[in-house]
Amino acid sequence: MERTFLAIKPDGVQRGLVGEIVRRFETKGFTLVGMKFMKVSKELAESHYDVHKERPFFSSLVNFITSGPIIAMVWEGEGVVAAARKMIGATNPLTAEPGTIRGDFGVNIGRNLIHGSDAIETAQREISLWFSDEELVTWESQMKPWLQ
Ligand code: RTP
Ligand code: MG
């Protein structure tokens, strides 16, 4: 089953949006398989955003991600990678559609509340970067047959 890596960034935690953000993925119908509250090391932040290392905003991005605790999560479900990106919205919250997380709660491109893997291969890389196998819980809701 497809999985994605999501992280509520320090601004999302500090603005008290953890419950709201988690709720959206829960009520959509995706399955939580991993979650941890943590401060991010510089090494992990740099590795996570490795593709952006030549960009001018790289050091401020790493500084921001390491500035306060985050919630790292793995969610599972059919088409979850693309669907989560859609629910998160465009990178710049000012142009993100209303109804998306960034569109509803953000105003600043550097403070856009949540990260979501941008492709299935990226998700696989990010999940193994952030979580060990023992931290991921495979489970099936008893409600599932009834919901479907
Ligand atoms: P993310 O990786 O955090 O989920 O965000 P994203 O895919 O929507 O955007 P991406 O292009 O991967 O950029 C990573 C983060 O870098 C910051 N950024 N700043 N022009 C800028 O100042 C700029 N562009 C990107 C954003 O915080 C973005 O989330
Ligand atoms: Mg990205």
Q: Would you say 17 and 113 are in contact if contact means Cβ atoms under 8 Å apart? A: yes
Main-chain dihedrals φ then ψ at residue 6, nearest 5 degrees: -125, 145
- pTM, two decimals, is 0.95
Q: What pLDDT shows up at residue 146? A: 67
Strands 70-76 and 114-116: unpaired
Q: What pLDDT shows up at residue 94? A: 98
pLDDT tier at 143, thresholds 50, 70, 90? confident
Cα dihedral 48, 35, 133, 68 sign: positive
Looking at every residue in the chain, the average pLDDT score rounds to 96
- Residue with the nearest Cα to atom 13 of ligand 1? 91
- What is the Cα–Cα distance from 100 to 84, expressed in whole angstroms? 10
- Give the SS3 label for residue 38: strand
Q: Which residues are annotated as a binding site for ATP?
A: 9, 57, 85, 91, 102, 112
For the CA of 64, the nearest ligand: 1
Q: Does domain 3-137 have CATH number 3.30.70.141?
A: yes
Query: Which residue from 17, 68, 12, 59 is spatially nearest to 38, judged by alpha carbons?
Result: 68
pLDDT tier at 140, thresholds 50, 70, 90? confident
126 CA to centre of ligand 1 in angstroms: 15
- Residue with the nearest Cα to atom 1 of ligand 1? 115
Q: Would you say 99 and 108 are in contact if contact means Cβ atoms under 8 Å apart? A: no
Annotated catalytic residue: which of 21, 76, 113, 115? Answer: 115
**Neighbouring residues of 125: CB distance < 8 A, sequence distance ≥ 6:** none
Percent of the chain with pLDDT over 70: 97
In the residue annotation, 115 being an active-site residue is answered as: yes
Q: What pLDDT shows up at residue 80? A: 98
Domain coordinates in residue numbering, the chain: 3-137
Q: Would you say 88 and 101 are in contact if contact means Cβ atoms under 8 Å apart? A: yes
Q: What pLDDT shows up at residue 144? A: 67
Q: Tell me the pLDDT tens digit for each residue of 86-121.
A: 999 999 999 999 999 999 999 999 999 999 999 999
105 CA to centre of ligand 2 in angstroms: 18
141 CA to centre of ligand 1 in angstroms: 34
Q: What pLDDT shows up at residue 71? A: 98
H-run or E-run covering 31: strand 31-38
Q: What pLDDT shows up at residue 31? A: 96
